Amino acid sequence: MDLEEAFQVVGEFGPYQQRAVAVLVLTQVYMACQSMLIVLIGSTPKYRIEQLDGVGSSQRELVTFTEDTDSIVTEWFLIKHQAYKVSLAGSLFFAGLLVGNIVFGPLSDRIGRRPVYLTGLFFEVIFGYVTAFAPSYEVFAVSRLLVGLMNGGIGLVCFVLTQEYVGKSYWAMTGTLTSMTFAVGIALFGALGYFIQPWRNLAMASNSSGVLFLLLSVTLPESPRWLYSKGQTQRAEEVLRYMALRNGNPANNLVLKRVCAAKAGNRDGRGAGVLQLVIHPVLRLRTMVLMYVWYACSLVYYGLTLGASEMSGSRYMNVAMYGLVELPAYPLCIYFINKHWAGRRKSMASFLCLAGSACLCTTFIPENAGALLNVTSLALLGKLMVSAAFNIAYVYTSELYPTVIRNAGLGVCSMSCRVGGILAPFVPSMRALHTSMPFTVFCLSGLSAGCLGLLLPETLNGPTTDTLEELGSPIHSRVLESKAHLYEDDKLKSNHK
């Protein structure tokens, strides 16, 4: 039997897979806290500067903060000519994410999902404590780079594991749960920051949850899909039988089809790597389009989120709202991406265009507008739409790449995504040029990515590919897509009868 038939015997989403996926999904709360940490601990309170005695270059200034706020800004006086260091620390985190995607994605395709995930999570917890106890800004900045490095690696592998532990029919749900929990993590971080305001205490509290998730993750098995794609059929059968036993489904006779080394992606790693994303005719176009889509999603998503503290009102409430506003996006995703008239492609493109349109509308709203329709409400609407598009991009991308190269494909797309993340902390500061400049950037990014996304093929009800040989040529891919549409039409006709 093939893998999908095996999951029918094991249970596509049985009790054991539910517990395993729950651990991986809840880890997103920890990752969200690390991603948003700079928003609160890097907040700049109001201050005044008094000129003291002196002439010329010897003149001294006395800085007095008028708000009772404890942050890296107040501790290391990151104001005026030093203010860029706050955005720099945020960008270093996203630079780490970029490198982590480059390194950990292909590495997990080569040596396995589980060892890469556990190692990355362990070191992220260690470097997170270095952030909390940093004696200087320089140590703090380096620790944020290293935390981002680990965060980028485990975030990618964590998402892939939630997909590969379950049957294909549950991929959309597990992918959506991952993104939804990340949004809940942002909201919880806003609440945590309200109750724990000294920045070192907040950094320590945010990092401590990682210890719990590390201990829970130790018992997770290797991905049976990865084992099978690498030709380790016997180990894949052992993992599947273990899952079946824990699900209460006897599967002693579970035997997978043997695949040759060539179809297993060449056990030594040749024939299935980042280079295939460039030389393979089908993957080349997909990768170019997906890289820009992920870049735009990240730029708009993190640009709006990191700018939350600059909006009027309580910074803690704003952070929580920018997390909670994502939650309605995920039921919308689950509904639209499983409908034959919408699917993955049209849904992602539509949400991106709507996010860009919402950001465009903010440029026509005066800052003193009413409480219902103002810049903040439109920015929240844009965040909701881009969150939906970002979630679909994760699910959609994992379906567009074969198992043997899935992590490499996701890694390259995530690398492009992190470029957007690196630029995102600096986009809100473009208000100095014009108040509408940040939203103009977000608008153009969303609209252009939405239009490009229409070039991708639809994957709804399409066949699962495990190897590059199954992916075939561009003509073969179009045939598979046509078969998927015919299958859906037949299904509708039978339901109508």
Domain spans, the chain = 3-50+62-496
Length of the chain: 497
Write 78-81 long-range contacts (CB < 8 A, 24+): 78/42, 78/44, 78/137, 79/44, 79/47
Return d(Cα 113, Cα 157) in angstroms, integer: 6
Position 217 scores a pLDDT of 94
226, two tokens: 């990865």
Across residues 276-303, what is the average pLDDT?
90
Position 56 scores a pLDDT of 55
Strongest mean pLDDT among 240-249, 398-407, 455-464: 240-249
Return d(Cα 239, Cα 108) in angstroms, integer: 18
The one-letter amino acid code at 74 reads T
Across residues 429-457, what is the average pLDDT?
89
Residue with tokens 């084992």: 227
Position 309 scores a pLDDT of 62
Tell me how far apart the 2 most distant CA atoms of the chain are, in Å: 91
Position 402 scores a pLDDT of 85
Residues in CB range of 21: below 8 A, 6 or more apart: 13, 162, 165, 166, 174, 177
Across residues 165-175, what is the average pLDDT?
85
Position 59 scores a pLDDT of 62
Return d(Cα 463, Cα 42) in angstroms, integer: 47
Across residues 305-318, what is the average pLDDT?
73
Strongest mean pLDDT among 46-60, 204-218, 361-375, 453-467: 204-218
- Burial label, 66 (beta-carbon count in 10 A; 0-12, 13-18, 19+): exposed
Is the separation of the CB atoms in 230 and 111 below 8 Å?
no
What confidence tier does 479 reach under pLDDT thresholds 50, 70, 90? very low
Whether the predicted pLDDT of 467 surpasses 80: no
Report the mean per-residue pLDDT for the chain. Answer: 83
Question: Which of 31, 16, 27, 310 shows the shortest CA–CA distance to 165?
Answer: 16
Position 473 scores a pLDDT of 47
What confidence tier does 208 reach under pLDDT thresholds 50, 70, 90? very high
What confidence tier does 369 reach under pLDDT thresholds 50, 70, 90? low
What confidence tier does 34 reach under pLDDT thresholds 50, 70, 90? very high
Structure-model confidence comparison of residues 290 and 82, the more confident one:
290
Whether the predicted pLDDT of 202 surpasses 50: yes
Position 273 scores a pLDDT of 65
The one-letter amino acid code at 415 reads M
Is the separation of the CB atoms in 194 and 316 below 8 Å?
yes
Angle ∠(21,27,32) on CA atoms, nearest 5: 135
Helices 171-195, 15-41: inter-axial angle, 10-degree rounding: 40
Return d(Cα 53, Cα 61) in angstroms, integer: 9
Return d(Cα 440, Cα 444) in angstroms, integer: 6
283, two tokens: 């993957």
What confidence tier does 386 reach under pLDDT thresholds 50, 70, 90? very high
Structure-model confidence comparison of residues 157 and 428, the more confident one:
157
Please report which residue ranges of 339-432 form alpha helices under DSSP H: 343-362, 375-400, 406-423
Position 474 scores a pLDDT of 46
143, two tokens: 């620790």
What confidence tier does 308 reach under pLDDT thresholds 50, 70, 90? low
Strongest mean pLDDT among 18-32, 150-164, 169-183, 394-408: 18-32
> Which of 100-104, 263-267, 461-465 is least confident?
263-267
Across residues 295-316, what is the average pLDDT?
80
Across residues 170-176, what is the average pLDDT?
83
Across residues 244-271, what is the average pLDDT?
65
What confidence tier does 231 reach under pLDDT thresholds 50, 70, 90? confident
* Cα first-last separation, the chain: 32
CB atoms within 10 A of CB 413: 30
Position 216 scores a pLDDT of 94
What pTM was computed for the model? Answer: 0.76
Structure-model confidence comparison of residues 405 and 222, the more confident one:
222
Angle ∠(225,229,233) on CA atoms, nearest 5: 80
Position 81 scores a pLDDT of 81
Q: Virtual CA dihedral for 214, 219, 225, 231, nearest 10 degrees?
A: 110
What confidence tier does 123 reach under pLDDT thresholds 50, 70, 90? very high
Residue 140 parent element (H or E): helix 137-164
Question: Which of 471, 488, 132 shows the shortest CA–CA distance to 281?
Answer: 471
CB atoms within 10 A of CB 275: 11
Position 130 scores a pLDDT of 96
Q: Virtual CA dihedral for 458, 17, 187, 101, nearest 10 degrees?
A: -60
DSSP state of 318: H
Residue 337 parent element (H or E): helix 329-337
194, two tokens: 């309200």
- The CATH architecture assigned to 3-50+62-496 reads Up-down Bundle (1.20)
29, two tokens: 């709360």
Whether the predicted pLDDT of 459 surpasses 90: no
Across residues 452-460, what is the average pLDDT?
91
What confidence tier does 351 reach under pLDDT thresholds 50, 70, 90? very high
The one-letter amino acid code at 144 reads R
Q: Residues 108, 112, 113, 118: is their CA dihedral positive or negative?
A: negative
Return d(Cα 439, Cα 355) in angstroms, integer: 10
Q: Is 95 left (phi over 0), alpha (psi -120 to 50) or beta?
A: alpha
Structure-model confidence comparison of residues 432 and 483, the more confident one:
432
The one-letter amino acid code at 366 reads P
